Structure 1
Amino acid sequence: MGLLSQGSPLSWEETRRHADHVRRHGILQFLHIYHAVKDRQKDVLKWGDEVEYMLVSFDHENKKVQLILNGEDVLETLQEKGERTNPNHPTLWRPEYGSYMIEGTPGQPYGGTMSEFNTVEDNMRKRRQEATSVLEENQALCTITSFPRLGCPGFTLPVYKPNPVEGGASKSLFFPDEAINKHPRFSTLTRNIRHRRGEKVVINVPIFKDKNTASPFIETFPEDDEAARASKPDHIYMDAMGFGMGNCCLQVTFQACSISEASYLYDQLATICPIVMALSAASPFYRGYVSDIDCRWGVISASVDDRTREERGLEPLKNNNYRISKSRYDSIDSYLSKCGEKYNDIDLTIDKGVYEQLVQNGIDHLLAQHVAHLFIRDPLTLFKEKIDLDDANESDHFENIQSTNWQTMRFKPPPPHSDIGWRVEFRPMEVQLTDFENSAYVVFVVLLTRVILSYKLDFLIPLSKVDENMKVAQKRDAVLQGMFYFRKDICKGGNTVVDGCGKAPAGGADLSSEEYALMSIDTIINGKEGVFPGLIPILNSYLENMEVDVDTRCSIMNYLKLIKKRASGELMTVARWMREFIANHPDYKQDSVITDEMNYNLILKCNQIANELCECPELLGSGSAFRKVRYSGSKTDSSS
């Protein structure tokens, strides 16, 4: 969740007065870091994953499941038993936005050897076991992207009512402040986003129109004029940061060997983001309703959209400096590598003063405009004790802006005086139900980075087309129904190592619309003769040329088989499986409503699948998640 400074948080009015100070010193801090490590080379490939979890409590008697608001206590116990006792503990635990959430990572980054891929799932299992061991009876650790009844009455334990009056952090009609992590950063972010925007955030998600869904579907909010104005017909209305940042995701961070390699990976992976997001779709339900989307991305984007009416183009610029086209949580707006420059076809709003300062200090044009674009934003949180810093030795002001630009990819300079190298973070994936699935998506993306670097692959297309892909990726059943712009020739100069690669355009011609095409995810992942070789066949070709032990190769092939079958439709995405579970529930009235008991049965089933207490061939294939020793870590065994 980014920078977690300790101290006394300032109000929005106080933070705003220091905004220029933070930006000015943030740039100085970046320049100190850049000049210290710009020529750094030969850092070894390291990488790690981040899995976010929800803590739930099952009431088997009343057929109800709730989110437990004790994440801080669970986190304290896990850290005390783990890293504080043993610095080499295999898992690390960190806070997340919701007080019902925690985040787990491997204790040490993975390295560059192929055998590391065979340890990912074991480490994820250790995390699940470790956290489950400190929970009470009938409680569970769940890797679900969105809790279906988040924001419905009584969705938390203990039960708290929302506080929509002034004084609350979110003023939400649905989401109580008690569900926000108690670290001051989180409530301050929530309050300051609302204050900066000048109104509550507005999230409208299209409802899925089933046979008996009201048409038009209209919710009324007679006691809240703001909600009455903001809510849209045939949409599920939400009004708080928690509806976005209270969801869970799966992320991977890579250390590159140099700044140029990091830039190259950043660009190439940016084009892959919408593809993997659609493949990992796992969030079809919001506020107790069945929606017409499968991914959380747009929900989070709206949940932290702090742009004023002027910045959104709804009023003439008067008090603000820029029109800003996107929320600060969205897809990237510019490529960073030289090969990506000609595909930067999105109008980029930048702080021209910051850009000129960076260029004058030796930063190349592409990185300078990237940072100058990030720095059009205000800091959202500031601690009184962190205003005046040593710019040569600290980076809090830079990270203040950097860590609240939540984009599909994040380009991460090394921390000051650190042995950590230049990194990129891959951020669009939805978390999956099982450790097997989460490992499969992580290994797929990491393997893809190896192939990109080894074969010098080029996935670049105009960035405006990537944005269009992002919109398609969130739609219901995008993995089967969506068509995505993708580059046909991905081998620079025609790399013969990869079967099916075409020749590059003669004379290094610019990419035209003839060199990319609309493709299905099945074609992109599995290939189609005469159209595209497919990412899985390319990965298989790479693996054939690598020395890999039998166990590791078996694990990798199982992971790639899952991705292959999800892309072809032979296996369901989590979103599709959840939709079918609800559609076939005996209590479902085909009205798009998810009751407490339906939610209970769904989450209980998810927990049983995650802990390998039952098979789910529609999601995982027959027996594919049972090839290792079964682990029963659940404390919620119920006969229901």
Structure 2
Amino acid sequence: MGLLSQGSPLSWEETKRHADHVRRHGILQFLHIYHAVKDRHKDVLKWGDEVEYMLVSFDHENKKVRLVLSGEEVLETLQEKGERTNPNHPTLWRPEYGSYMIEGTPGQPYGGTMSEFNTVEDNMRKRRKEATSLLGENQALCTITSFPRLGCPGFTLPEFKPNPVEGGASKSLFFPDEAINKHPRFSTLTRNIRHRRGEKVVINVPIFKDKNTSSPFIEMFPEDEEAAKASKPDHIYMDAMGFGMGNCCLQVTFQACSISEARSLYDQLATICPIVMALSAASPFYRGYVSDIDCRWGVISASVDDRTREERGLEPLKNNNYRISKSRYDSIDSYLSECGEKYNDIDLTIDKEIYEQLLQEGIDRLLAQHVAHLFIRDPLTLFEEKIHLDDANESDHFENIQSTNWQTMRFKPPPPNSDIGWRVEFRPMEVQLTDFENSAYVVFVVLLTRVILSYKLDFLIPLSKVDENMKVAQKRDAVLRGMFYFRKDICKGGNTVVDGYGKAQNSTEVAVEEYTLMSIDTIINGKEGVFPGLIPILNSYLENMEVDVDTRCSILNYLKLIKKRASGELMTVARWMREFIANHPDYKQDSVITDEMNYSLILKCNQIANELCECPELLGPAFRKVKYSGSKTDSSN
């Protein structure tokens, strides 16, 4: 989760006094990096995934499942047995926001050969097995995006009660501070977001109106005036960073061969973000209720929204410099490549002094405005020992701002004095239940980058349309019901690709309109006369590549999953979870998820993840079995 500095964290008031210092020196650090590596070319293709996990404990006797607050201890042991003992250990482990969470990545980045695609799932299995081996009896490692009863009484083990009085980090009515990772960055972020905003964060998620759901659905908070004002009818109310950052996701980072290639990939993939987010939808439940959304994005965006009332346009500007249209956690606001410039149709708020400084230092206009936009934000955490740095050799002040702009895509300059190249990070995906699914989504996105570069594909549309797609992607059953703006002619300069019907399609033959509304099935699988489909294009690419039989078989299995999720033949995780709860014998069609229903759901998720049972609705009939169980919970209970 970004920069993890060690030291003595400063309060918000102290951090605020140093905000201009951090911005000023952050820009100097960026300039040192840029000038040192701007002409760097021929970096080899490398990439890697990040999977976030939750630790859960099953109480089979009482039919409860809780989040285990032992992430720090498990992480310490994993690091001690792994990278600290062997620098070439196949897995790496890092902390995450929740004290019930850990993050795993491959020990070394994957390279540019096609055979690397055949190692992704095996590495994910190693991670699951490695972490599971450290858990207690009836505990399990789960890849679920949102824990359905997060914030409900007794959702943690050990149990802690929230502390909404002054002095706590979040002051939440529902989320205890003990569920926050003990690293000072996380509690400081939580406290400083609230202090900067001037009030608690406000998250309102629409309730799913079932047959017996009260209408209007209204929660009462008579002892908390702030909550009473902030909560909305027919919405599930949440009030803490943990409700967003306490969810899990799946991310992929790519190293490009040059800065120009990184900028191009950043732009092209930004248009794909809402499509893949809808395809990976896996979070329909919040605070013990069935919601009317399928993705976490809006929840996590609101959970870290530190904008003041002035910055949100609710009061005249007096103490702040800007109106800011989005949370720090949202979709991108500008393309970076020259091809994307004409599609930058969103009003971009920038720090004009920083922008002029960057131009004077030789930074081009598109990159300068990108950085100047990031730097309208204040630093949210600052450590006393990290105030004064060597700008030529350190980048903490730059990363302080950069890493707390959590956007769908992140453009990542190399660290100073390293052999790492220019990178982009793809951030919108929801984590899936199984290593097979997570591998499928990772391979799909990575393979798509290869095809974008090889065929010089162009997915660019006006950025305002990408924002509209992001809103649609989060809605219930967006994969089947949503319509998304997408480019019709994706072939630059008349390049020929093969469409889903085996016919050559030339860009000059496509209708004059650049983009139109399409279903995800059309975007992924193609529709004659409308769009060739991403999967047929990927298959065409594979046919022209030398790939060993095993790797080709694995890739085709992954693409088959994506294809069938897009067509509706297979359910998304979100749809499958909804069906599971709807069919639970205890469900009263009132949008409420009880402890026992939650227990049944997470137990089933764990069995599916460890391939102890089949789930053809989610995975298809040909899902493979493996020998290890990967879980210490007794599934027979």
- Structure-2-length-normalised TM-score: 0.98
Q: Look up the SS of the partner of 1:260 in the other structure.
A: helix
**Aligned equivalents of 1:488 and 1:507: distance in 2?**
11
CA distance in 2 between counterparts of 1:631 and 1:560 reads: 25
Greater alpha carbon shift after TM alignment, 492-501 vs 433-442:
492-501
Alpha-carbon distance between aligned partners in 2 of 1:434 and 1:558, rounded to the nearest angstrom: 14
Determine if contact 2:494/2:508 at 8 Å carries over to the other structure: no
Contact 2:497 2:537 in 1 (8 A): no
Match for residue 414 of structure 2? 414
C-alpha displacement of 1:501? 11
Shift of 1:507: 15
Distance 1:624 1:437, change over 3 A: farther
Could you tell me how far apart the structure 1 residues matched to 2:506 and 2:532 are?
Answer: 23
In the TM superposition, residue 511 of structure 1 has moved relative to its aligned partner by 12
Are the equivalent residues in 1 in contact too, given 2:500–2:525 (CA < 8 A)? Answer: no
- Identical positions, percent: 93
The match for 2:311 is 311
Contact 1:484–1:520, Cα closer than 8 Å, also in 2: yes
- Report the Cα distance in structure 1 between the residues aligned to 2:126 and 2:256, rounded to whole angstroms: 27
Cα pair 2:607 2:635 within 8 Å, conserved: no
Q: Tell me the CA shift for residue 87 of structure 1.
A: 0.5
Distance 1:96 1:368, change over 3 A: same
Determine helix, strand or coil for the equivalent of 2:494. coil
The residue aligned with 1:24 is 24
Shift of residue 499 of structure 1? Answer: 3.4
Q: Report SS of the residue matched to 1:30.
A: helix
Q: In 1, distance between residues paired with 2:628 and 2:500? A: 42
Instruction: Give the superposition deviation at 1:30.
Output: 0.1
Going from structure 1 to structure 2, the CA distance change for 1:509 and 1:372 (only over 3 Å counts) comes to farther
Question: Residues of 2 paired with 1:507 and 1:133: CA distance?
Answer: 54
Q: Is the 8 A contact 1:489 1:502 kept in 2?
A: no
Q: Quote the Cα distance in structure 1 between the aligned partners of 2:634 and 2:547.
A: 39
Q: Distance in 1 between matches of 2:509 and 2:629?
A: 55
| Counterpart secondary structure, 2:503 | coil
- Whether the aligned pair in 1 keeps the contact of 2:491 and 2:507 (CA below 8 Å) is no
Shift of 1:515: 1.6
Q: Is the 8 A contact 1:493 1:503 kept in 2?
A: no
Q: 2:616 & 2:93 partners in 1: Cα distance?
A: 31
Deviation at 1:629, TM superposition (A): 3.2
Matches within 5 A, 1:16-55: 16-55=16-55
Q: What does residue range 174-253 of structure 1 map to in structure 2 within 5 Å? A: 174-253=174-253
For 1:501 and 1:492, the matched residues in 2 are separated by 20
**C-alpha deviations, 1:529-575, integer Å up to 9, x for none?**
00000000000000000000000000000000000000000000000
Match for residue 130 of structure 1?
130
> Deviations for 1:568-587, whole angstroms, at most 9, x for unmatched residues?
00000000000000000000
What count of residue pairs does the alignment treat as equivalent?
A: 637
Query: Residue 625 of structure 1 aligns to a residue in which SS?
Result: coil
SS in structure 2 at match of 1:161: coil
Which deviations, in whole Å up to 9, do the C-alpha atoms of 1:20-41 show, x marking residues without a partner? 0000000000000000000000
Q: Which residue of 1 aligns with 2:636?
A: 639
Which one is further off, 601-610 or 628-637? 628-637
Change (3 A) 1:587 1:399: same
| 1:220–1:359 distance in 2 versus 1, CA, 3 Å | same
Q: CA deviation at 1:514?
A: 2.0
Residues 628 and 595 from structure 1, CA distance in 2 versus in 1: closer, same or farther, beyond 3 angstroms?
A: closer
Shift of 1:502: 14
CA contact (8 A) 2:254 2:423 kept: yes
- In the superposition, the TM-score normalised over structure 1's length comes to 0.98
Equivalent pair of 2:500/2:536 in contact (CA under 8 Å): no
Contact 1:458 1:490 in 2 (8 A): yes
Partners of 1:322 and 1:21 lie apart in 2 by 19
What does the per-residue CA deviation read over 1:248-287, in whole Å, with 9 as the maximum and x for residues that have no partner?
0000000000000000000000000000000000000000
The 8 Å contact of residues 489 and 501 in structure 1, kept in 2 or not, is answered as no
Deviation, structure 1 residue 497: 3.5
Give yes or no for contact 1:307–1:324 (8 Å, CA) kept in 2: yes
Distance in 2, Cα, partners of 1:403 & 1:31: 17
Q: 8 Å contact 1:491–1:502 — kept in the other structure?
A: no
1:106 Cα offset (Å): 0.1
| Contact 1:311–1:324 (Cα < 8 Å) also in 2 | yes
The corresponding residue for 1:296 is 296
The 1:397/1:503 distance shift into structure 2, 3 A limit, reads farther
Query: Is the CA contact (8 Å cut-off) linking 1:276 and 1:428 kept in structure 2?
Result: yes
Q: CA deviation at 1:496?
A: 1.5
1:569 is matched with which residue?
568
Deviations 1:15-60, CA, capped at 9 Å, x for gaps = 0000000000000000000000000000000000000000000000
The CA deviation at 1:513 is: 8.5
SS at match of 2:622: helix
Q: Is the 8 A contact 1:494 1:503 kept in 2?
A: no
Shift of the alpha carbon at 1:509? 12
- SS of residue in 1 equivalent to 2:109: coil
Judge which range, 491-500 or 439-448, deviates more: 491-500
**Equivalent pair of 2:499/2:533 in contact (CA under 8 Å):** no
Q: Do the aligned residues in 2 keep the contact of 1:295 with 1:475 (CA within 8 Å)?
A: yes
Query: Deviation per CA, 1:109-146, whole angstroms, max 9, x where unpaired?
Result: 00000000000000000000000000010000000000
CA contact (8 A) 2:335 2:341 kept: yes
Q: Distance in 2 between matches of 1:30 and 1:318?
A: 30
Measure, in 1, the Cα distance between the counterparts of 2:232 and 2:502. Answer: 48
| 1:385 corresponds to | 385
The 3-state SS of whatever aligns with 1:252 is strand
CA 595–7 in structure 1, closer or farther in 2 if over 3 Å, else same = same
Partners of 2:491 and 2:506 within 8 A in 1: no
Quick one: structure 1 residues 511 and 297, their matched pair in 2 at CA, closer, same or farther if it must change by over 3 Å? farther
Change beyond 3 A, Cα 1:591–1:628: closer
Superposition deviation, residue 627 in structure 1: 3.1
**Residue 35 and residue 482 in structure 1: after superposition, are their counterparts in 2 closer, same or farther (change >3 A)?**
same
Deviation at 1:83, TM superposition (A): 0.6
TM superposition shift of 1:495: 1.3
Using a 3 Å threshold, how does the CA distance of structure 1 residues 430 and 508 change in structure 2: closer, same or farther?
closer
Mapped partners of 1:3, 1:637: distance in 2: 38
Contact 2:494 2:507 in 1 (8 A): no
How far the C-alpha of 1:503 sits from its partner, in A, is 14
Q: Is the 8 A contact 1:490 1:501 kept in 2?
A: no
State the Cα distance separating 1:512 from its structure 2 match.
Answer: 11
The answer to whether the 8 Å contact 1:491/1:501 transfers is no
Q: Corresponding residue for 1:509?
A: 508
Q: 2:151 matched to which residue of 1? A: 151
CA distances 1:483-520 after superposition (whole Å, capped 9, x unpaired): 0000000001221233379999x999999992200000
Distance 1:317 1:507, change over 3 A: farther
The answer as to whether partners of 1:170 and 1:241 remain within 8 angstroms in 2 is yes
Q: Distance in 1 between matches of 2:40 and 2:125?
A: 36
> Aligned partners of 1:627 and 1:388: how far apart in 2?
54
Task: State the match for 1:459 in structure 2.
Answer: 459
Say if 1:494 and 1:501, in contact at 8 Å, map to a contact too: no
- Is contact 1:612-1:625 (8 Å) kept? no
- Check whether the contact 2:485–2:517 (CA below 8 A) recurs between aligned residues: yes
1:634 Cα deviation from its structure 2 partner: 1.2
Once the 2 structures are TM-superposed, how far is the Cα of residue 628 of structure 1 from its aligned partner?
Answer: 5.5
Q: Is the 8 A contact 1:57 1:68 kept in 2?
A: yes
Q: Is the 8 A contact 1:205 1:299 kept in 2?
A: yes
- Check conservation: 2:494, 2:506, Cα contact below 8 A: no
> Structure 1 stretches of 5 or more lacking a match?
none
* Structure-2 change in CA distance of 1:472 and 1:115 (3 Å): same
Moved more, 282-291 or 513-522: 513-522
For residue 492 of structure 2, give the secondary structure of its aligned residue in structure 1. coil
CA shift, 1:471, in A, is 0.1
Residues 1:509 and 1:164: Cα distance change in structure 2 (over 3 Å): farther
Q: Distance in 2 between matches of 1:350 and 1:494?
A: 37
1:448-484 alpha-carbon deviations (Å, 9 max, x no partner): 0000000000000000000000000000000000000
**Structure 2 partner of 1:274:** 274
CA deviation vs aligned residue, 1:344-382 (integer Å, no higher than 9, x gap): 000000000000000100101000000000000000000
Deviations 1:385-423 (A, max 9, x none): 000000000000000000000000000000000000000
